[in-house]
Amino acid sequence: MSSHWLSRSFILLAMVLSTASLWGQGGDPAAGKTIFKNYCGACHNKDMKTDMTGPALGQAEEHWAEYPREDLYVWIRNSQALISAGHPRAVELWEKWKPVQMSPFPNLTDEDIENVLAYIHQEYTKEPVTAGGPGDGVPVEKADYGWLYWVIFVVLAVVAMVLSRLIAQFRYLNELKAGNVDAQKPAFGQMFRSKAFLTFLTFFVLAWLSFTVVNRAINLGRQQGYQPEQPIKFSHKTHAGLHKIDCKFCHDGARRSKHSVIPSANTCMNCHRAIKVGSTYGTAELTKIFASIGYDPTTDSYIENYDQLSNEEIEKIYTKWMRDQYMVAHGDFDALGETAVKRQWEDVVAALTHGEEDAKIQGPIEWVRVHNLPDHVYYNHSQHVEVGGLECQTCHGPVEEMDVLRQYAPLSMGWCVNCHRQTEVKAFKDNPYYQSYHRLHEELKAGKRSKVTVEDIGGTECQKCHY
Amino acid sequence: MKKKNQDFWVGVDQLQDTQKFEEISANEFPSELPLANSLSKEDLLGAQASRRDFLKYLGFGLGAATLAASCDIPVKRAIPYVVKPDEIVPGIANYYASTFVRGGDYCSVLVKTREGRPIKIEGNNLCPLTQGGTSARAQASVLDLYNVNRYQGPGKMAEGQFAPISWADLDRQVKGALSSAAVIRVLTHTNLSPTFQAVLDEFTARYPGAKVLTYDPVSSSALLQASEAVHGQAVVPDFRFDQADVIVSFGADFLGTWISPVEYARQYASRRRVKDVEHPDMSYHVQVEAHMSMTGSNADKRIQVRPSAQGAAIAALYNALAGKNGAPTVSAPALKGEAAGEIQKLADRLQKSKGKALVVSGSNNLGDQLLVCAINQLLDSYGNTIGLDQISYQRQGLDREVHQLLDEMNKGAVDVLFVLGDANPAWELPYAAEFREAMKKVKFKLSTAGVPNETSSLCDYIAPDHHYLESWGDARPKAGVYSLQQPTIAPLFDTRQVGESFLRWAESPNFDPGTEEEPPYFRYVKKWWKENMFTRQNSYSDFQKFWDHSLHDGIVTVPSELAGLSANAVDVSAAAALQEKPSSAELEMVFFETVNIGGGQYATNPWLQEMPDPVARTTWNNYMAIPIFWDGGIEWKAFKGLNQQEIYGKADKVEVEIGGRKQTVSCIRQFGLAEGTLAMALGYGREQMGVCGYQEGVNVNPWIGLDKNGNVRYYATEVAVSDKVGEDDAFACVQYHHTMGVKGTDPQTGEELNVDEKTVMTLKEGYQGGLTNRSVLYYGSTKNLEELVEHIAEKRAEAQEWVEQSLYPYDKYNEKFYSQGHHWGMHIDMNACIGCGACQVACVAENNVPVVGRKEVSRHHEMTWLRIDRYFFGDYKNPHVAYQPMMCQHCDNAPCENVCPVAATNHSSEGLNQMTYNRCIGTRYCANNCPYKVRRFNWLDYSTADIFPANEPYVEHEDIPFGADNLTRMVLNPDVTVRSRGVIEKCSFCVQRLQEGKLTAKKEQRSLSDADVRTACQTACPTGAITFGDMNLKEDLAAKLDSPLNYYVLEEVGVRPSVAYSAKVVNTDEELTPAKKHESKEAHEEHGEG
């Protein structure tokens, strides 16, 4: 039995290995990358090693190796079909991941799938990239060895204590030997009163204090992790993650301007004229956009002279809409509904008005700014997005996973400079602009340098960002 | 007169007492500490601080820091549009073509807007007049939009108090007054807009008793009258300074203020550049004038005549030419002094250049102007250097019209008076007091001024007009040249365009109420263009396309609407009879218009107030220019021995009495004044205008009289000046500020001093910076141009030896950094630079440079990043002038960088000397170490950029600092940091523009070209004197850097500056340089003998 099992697995392993190498040759990883980004990337982690919404894909081929290749194709095109058919691997996965269903992709050809698999294989076997690297959407956590210092510290402290105790004991014995009758047996606490220890302690405390003070002072005004509540419960996870709307679709300034631009209400209306009720909050959040711009979802039209309407008139329009939708959802409008609509409306008013100075419901939505740079810093989105070809996630983190947006990066000068030091100028060879750096080009050609970083062309100089 | 050992100089004190001057100039900052009042030296040295105090402050400091640290970071809001306009992308500037018009001042412009706010004016390259050039006035005009003193809506004046009313009320009142009025008068400055003219025509057609009267703040009445007599129309002929080989100007400041200075400056400069050293081919420019105007300072020769002898000089020139051409001569009083001979020589020169000569005059005397026409006819100028088809409309004011109005008003005949826009007859007329009295007799007076002025305060109603950046409109500066004006921002206040007001009041059938997007006046302008302009062109068959295209370009040129003007013969003897006779008075005073604040209509603009007068280098005040005398020895004396303390920032005050009116004025010593002549600027001493410029200077209008033809005469003859009556302790003249590189004399031996030879050790006295006998200014004449070239080459070779001994491995840097990528550099052609100051104001606007005010300027605290150094050279009595725009030279071995203890200033791989404000701790070592003195220190919070503005609402001795309110702050350029107190700042080569240009090239996937990177000063320059670019590119800049006349300022100190200057060349037979050394030796000998 065991030998049988062994031989079978050996054959399997050989098969896997041989086919794997075949597959690797069969697909085009570059083409696969695009497909991965368009179809898979929203749920499957790009590093292929860790799970996300969907499982890590790194070993998918191995897991499916014992079944015909076509099974994997079917699985990727329509997983639910395979599950219903009772395919063992499919059922196993379903048991582990339900109720999350994988979206069907009937349009993918066998070739496409091979390309994606080749890309997955390539990514899986690649060396991990440090956080902040170009195009690296999801940074890899660095291993934290901080605890080791503490262990060493404690061990050393114990050794020091034992040694000092030994020295004290030996000194005492020496004194006794020399005939000093007054010699006292060293008490345990004596060592903590010794000059050496006190000096060390003072030095240590001072050093620690200054270190902390300086660090804290440097961090004043920085807001990494800042996650304020916004007037609208807008979820990037829903929009960028689930529906995979390109960041630059709404933040259209990022391609051409220094500002990425908070989308205006009419940008929202591009889609929300059709999607009038939200999946999570129903009418509660989307009504805020409608009330801001003056769109009446009941009649599907923009309200004439909206600017002149009083708050009461506006209330009538939108509470009617909320009530109607409540009816649609619950089939009946009861006291509970009344409270719900009332609460929703209060929430809308609170989100769109700001005390006495701005008591009007109409007008812009005042979002809370999450990423704040000081006034003396010049930052240009288009330089990074359009010229540098960076992914938004490099600085903004996995926005597609955030329900409430959070400041991912420290946005400190050190962080900026560090990236400029490490990042390669991708367009250096192709963009004619960079041809004026002829010496760097020669060096690249001669193989004297492997890449040109932003720093090499002056990207860490003061007046690149401060003027 | 050309003696002593100075070859060029900035002012008298330098000539008189070089040692004192050097002491002053050696200190980057004046010895007087800015906070001396509160912290005197004794207090500081004797201060007692106990240990307890120390601990207290330490404790408080720690506590405060803890508190501050625990404070929450304020929540910032990001507010998007509700419906985003398609054309606006936040962060990207939009440019709109429009037209700057103020009275007769015209400039076609592009308005830079950011997020809907106009923030900067650029020139429009498509305009045939300005060709992309601008003036200081046009550059500064954007600030007027955000003037806090603007009328915020219509109002009624009751007992001098403004009471807001509604537009409907106002219209009712106006219509009521109009319906019962028999005589209606509309008083305006020159109106360039054909559309508004159509509106006024409708108005006068509706009310037969109505008449429009035009005058100009500084009158050109005689010029127009002469035109009327000679050409049959009161218009300005088309002067073509680029066609003339010889230009003679009798007091016309055509580069600074006269008619169309931007246009003329471009034409003039095109003939003043030395393109080829062997054939300089420069035009020859002679200025006949009483005091040195900006134009005169650029002349090859100045002939000094007293103001009252101006007419005699014109007549003398006419007679000399008439003699040569067999024309009848006129009887004229003889010219006194050297001038007579000079005029004869000039006549010879002109006669030789017949057909290629141009004579103009700024005189407001009809006889003078008629004789100038006759001179031009003798010289065949008409059709050659004076065009008669493209005539100019830029001056239309006739003095006689205002006199008539005054008479009518005095008789009580005027029922309704409308005063339009800038027109301010109650202040700017010579007989303003009389006008004010007469105004009381008018039943209904209305002003459309946008900003309060002396006249509007006397009116009954105010119907404030939009600023031009809020307006629709057009302008026709010259026949066939039409320029459109479009709003670049919605009206900030409840103002209404004057055209719309008149359409409403005229109950015009063409009035279309329009919509919010298309206001009535827009509809009217469009309609006018459809009926009048569309029909005159053939390029477009669809009006909308024509309109869109015109609006986009801002300029439409069509064939001139006028048939060529005739040129009738001048009755010269009648003309001579109209001339003023020279006065025999001991003293005469000439009144002139300044480049910056004009006749006073620009006095409300702080940028213009703080821009130094090009020649006198004074700000915020009109000082009385007094002549200087030199006895040939070592003593310099000013008129009445005044202003001995000028170098210490002190001017003397005297009482001046003209025509029984006495006023106290401050003096400034001035070169180039005709003997017995004093000079004062017009436009100062305004009384009602808001905060800026309020009562700065002296109002000279009451001193001005009329000539015998009834035109305003811009000089006075019976002048009585008292002895010194006081001192002006805020003498805001920048001529001794930030001086550099001028020579000195050893106080012991009297020898010319060079610190390389006599070091601090042997002299026992320090000369900080060691900047004597250095290459600051090279100049020569066309006669010895080759010598000049050799001289420059020699000096540069010598300098190169010094430079190569540097410890700094420049070659290494050059190989590693500057030779690849970009290496920014600049070239300034000092022959094209006329000193107009447009670059300086453009720099202020572009870089958020703060305004500091008069008192601060007097303490050397002006903040301008770009200054225009004015140097005199040549003959002391009648010197030549060179203008040298001086800004950070972005040295590749910058001395400022090495001394910064915190590396706040350092060098970029593109050759920029970078300044990082947030790192700067204000030691000012860099400023002290800068050989060019171009670094500026924020002594006080001029820009009110501090986080807690309430901490310092007052800058010492000044009112609330300019720019402390949010309205004014709308003019700030969001791409440039607003600096706070305690940091150094300086020219950055407009790094924000460089970065933008680079980014554009990168995004468009192409290599950079010089056209992508244009600094603010470069784009503002009307003559194209400044060229900026990448020295690694073989483009515009590289071509300029080829000239053998180029040199670097202070090249020998080894700092490797990036700004090249080309030497000043004067078109004269004088040998100006380089025989410096002999001269100085001679001077010593003479000195010794004496």
pLDDT tens per residue across span B792-807: 999 899 888 888 887 8
The average pLDDT across B888-910 equals: 93
| pLDDT higher than threshold 80 for residue B17 | no
- Residue-wise DSSP of A36-92: IIIIITTTS-TTSSS-SSS---TTHHHHTTTS-HHHHHHHHH-HHHHHHTT-HHHHH
Question: Per-residue pLDDT tens for A391-428?
Answer: 999 999 999 999 999 999 999 999 999 999 999 998 89
For B91, the closest of A257, A366, A375 (CB atoms) is A257
Q: Which residue has the tokens 């003998």?
A: B1089
Whole-number pLDDT of residue A128? 53
Q: Which residue has the tokens 């670049």?
A: B488
Same domain, yes or no: A111 and A150: no
What percent of chain B clears pLDDT 90, i.e. is strictly above it? 55
Residues A104 and A168 in one domain: no
How many angstroms separate the CA atoms of B895 and B629, rounded? 40
The answer to whether residues A111 and A11 belong to one domain is yes
Determine, yes or no, domain membership for A300: no
Peptide bond connecting B154 to the previous residue in cis, omega within 30 degrees of 0 = no
- Does one domain contain both A99 and A166? no
Mean pLDDT value across residues A214-242: 87
Task: Identify whether residues A88 and A167 lie together within a single domain.
Answer: no
Q: How many CB pairs under 8 A join A and B?
A: 156
- Which of residues B744 and A180 earns the better pLDDT score? A180
- Chain A residue numbers with beta carbons less than 8 Å from the beta carbon of B79 are 262, 364-367
Report d(CA B379, CA B390) in Å as an integer: 20
Confidence (pLDDT) at A100:
64
Average pLDDT value over all residues in chain A: 82
The full DSSP string for B622-667 is: -PEEEEEEE-SSS-EEEGGG--TTGGGT-EEEEEEEETTEEEEEEE
Residues of A in contact with B918 (CB under 8 A): 374, 376, 466
A332, A335, A338, A340 alpha-carbon torsion, rounded to 10°: -90
The size of chain A, in residues, is 467
Q: Is it the case that residue B372 has pLDDT exceeding 90?
A: yes
Q: Is the pLDDT of residue B665 over 90?
A: yes
How confident is the model at residue B777, as a pLDDT? Answer: 85
CA B909-B912-B915 angle, 5° bins: 115
Question: Which residues have a Cβ under 8 Å from the Cβ of B807 and sit 6 or more positions away?
Answer: none
Q: Looking at the domain assignment, is residue A295 inside a domain?
A: no
3-class SS of residue A29:
helix
Residue B973 with chain A: CB contacts under 8 Å: none
Share of chain B above pLDDT 70, in %: 88
- Split into its structural domains, chain A has a count of 3
Work out the widest C-alpha separation in chain A, in whole angstroms: 109
Q: Is A78 part of a structural domain of the chain?
A: yes
Tens of pLDDT, residue by residue over A314-324, are 898 898 888 88
B731 phi, psi to nearest 5 deg: -80, 100
What is the average pLDDT across B276-302?
Answer: 91
Token pair belonging to A67: 């079944």
Distance from B1030 to chain A by nearest Cα, in Å?
11
Answer yes or no: are the C-beta atoms of B212 and B200 closer than 8 Å: yes
pLDDT above 60: residue B764: no
Q: What pLDDT, on the 0 to 100 scale, is given for residue B741?
A: 55
> For the ranges B499-513, B646-660, B689-703, B815-829, which has the lowest average pLDDT?
B689-703
* Residue type, position B850, single letter: P
Q: Decide which of B364 and A125 is more confident.
A: B364
Decide if A398 is inside a domain.
no
Residue B964 has pLDDT above 90, yes or no: no
Partners of residue B74 in chain A, C-beta under 8 Å: none
> Is A258 part of any domain?
no
Confidence of residue A13 (pLDDT cuts 50, 70, 90): very low
Closest CA of chain B from A368, distance in Å: 5
Q: What is the predicted pLDDT for the residue at A73?
A: 85
Does residue A315 form part of some domain? no
**Is A457 within a domain?**
yes
Asked if the model's pLDDT at residue B34 lies above 70, the reply is: no
Render pLDDT for B108-160 as a digit per residue (tens, 0 to 9): 999 999 988 999 999 999 999 999 999 999 999 999 999 888 999 999 998 87
Stretch (H or E) spanning B199: helix B194-206
Cross-chain Cβ contact A463/B1001 below 8 Å? no
The residue of chain A with its CA nearest to that of B1033 is A436
Same domain, A108 and A37: yes
Residues 6+ apart with CB under 8 A from A52: A43, A44, A45, A401
Tokens linked to B128: 């045939």
The pLDDT-based confidence of B958 (bands split at 50, 70, 90) is: very low
Per-residue pLDDT band for B960 (boundaries 50, 70, 90) equals low
What CATH number is given to the structural domain containing A114? Answer: 1.10.760
Residue B1090 has pLDDT above 70, yes or no: no
Q: What is the pTM of this model?
A: 0.83
Q: Would you say B252 and B841 are in contact if contact means Cβ atoms under 8 Å apart?
A: no
Q: Is the pLDDT of residue A246 over 50?
A: yes
A36 pLDDT band, cuts 50/70/90, is: confident
β-pair partners for B529: none
What tokens were used for B29? 């900052």
Task: Count other Cβ atoms within 10 Å, centred on residue B4.
Answer: 23
Pick among A288, A295, A436 to test the B interface (most B CBs inside 10 A)? A436
pLDDT of residue A189: 75
B145 DSSP 8-state letter:
H
Q: Give the domain-ending residue among A184, A218, A252.
A: A218
| A75 and A152, same domain (yes or no) | no
User: What's the pLDDT score for residue B746?
Assistant: 55
Q: pLDDT band for B243, please (50, 70, 90 cuts).
A: very high
Using CB atoms and an 8 Å cut-off, which of residues 361-380 of chain A contact chain B? 362-369, 372, 374-376, 378, 380
What mean pLDDT do residues B385-411 have?
90
Buried/exposed code over A21-37 (b: 16+ C-beta within 10 A; e: otherwise): eebbeebebebbbebbe
* DSSP state letters, A292-355: HHTEETTTTEEPTTGGG--HHHHHHHHHHHHHHHHHHHHSS--HHHHHHHHHHHHHHHHHH-BT
Contact B76 A369 (CB under 8 A): yes
Instruction: Look up residue A264 and give its DSSP letter.
Output: P
Yes or no: say if B505 and B171 are a contact pair by the CB < 8 Å rule: yes
Indicate if the pLDDT at residue A186 is higher than 90: no
**Are A466 and B977 in contact (CB < 8 Å)?**
yes
Q: Which of residues 422-441 of A touch B (CB under 8 A)?
A: 427, 431-433, 435-440
Cβ neighbours, 10 Å, residue A297: 22
Residues A94 and A194 in one domain: no
DSSP H helical segments within B31-78, as ranges? 41-45, 51-70
Indicate the residue of A264, A368, A431 with minimum beta-carbon distance to B84: A264
**What is the domain range of residue A209?**
146-218
pLDDT-wise least confident of A80-84, A436-440, B918-922: A80-84
> What pLDDT does B759 receive?
38
**Is the pLDDT confidence value at A363 over 70?**
yes
pLDDT band at B863 (very low <50, low <70, confident <90, very high): very high
Looking at residue B16, what is its pLDDT? 64
Contact B906 A462 (CB under 8 A): yes
Asked if the model's pLDDT at residue B303 lies above 60, the reply is: yes
Q: Clarify whether residues A150 and A119 are in a common domain.
A: no
For residue A269, tell me if it sits in a domain: no
Give the pLDDT band (50/70/90) at residue A217: confident
- Rg of chain A (C-alpha set): 32
Q: Select from A169, A197, A218 the last residue of a domain.
A: A218
Residue B97: beta bridge partners? B110
Residue A19 has pLDDT above 50, yes or no: no
CB B926 within 8 A of CB B899: yes
Whether the pLDDT of residue A326 is over 70: the answer is yes
- A38 with A94, same domain: the answer is yes
Distance CA B989, CA B826 (A): 9
Q: Are residues A86 and A157 in the same domain?
A: no
Q: Hey, CA dihedral for A118, A119, A125, A126, is it positive or negative?
A: positive
Pick left, alpha or beta for residue B421 (phi over 0 → left; psi -120 to 50 → alpha; otherwise beta): left
pLDDT of B784 strictly over 60:
yes
In the structure encoding, which two tokens stand for residue A107, read together? 């349009």
Does residue B106 register a pLDDT over 90?
A: yes
Angle between helix axes B498-505 and B520-532 (nearest 10 degrees) is 90
pLDDT of A249 reads 87
Last residue of a domain, one of A185, A218, A251: A218
Phi, psi at A34, each rounded to 5°: -60, -45
* Residue A99 preceded by cis peptide, ω within 30: yes
Per-residue pLDDT for B65 more than 80? Answer: no
| Mean pLDDT estimate for chain B | 85
State whether residue A351 sits within 8 Å of chain B by CB: no
Mean pLDDT of B268-277: 89
Closest to B939 measured CA to CA, from B860, B866, B867, B868? B860
Question: Quick one: pLDDT band at residue B69, thresholds 50, 70, 90?
Answer: low
Return the residue in A209, A215, A229, A433 with the most chain B beta carbons within 10 A, the one to mutate for interface testing. A433
pLDDT, greater one: B30 or B219: B219
The pLDDT of residue A17 is 43
Say whether A387 and B1032 touch across the interface (CB within 8 A).
no
Residues A17 and A80 reside in one and the same domain: yes
Within 13 Å, how many C-alpha atoms sit on residue A250's CB side? 21
The distance in angstroms from the start CA to the end CA of chain A is 77
At B896 the pLDDT is: 93
CA distance B193 to B59: 69
Considering only CB atoms, B92 lies closest to which of A256, A368, A433, namely: A256
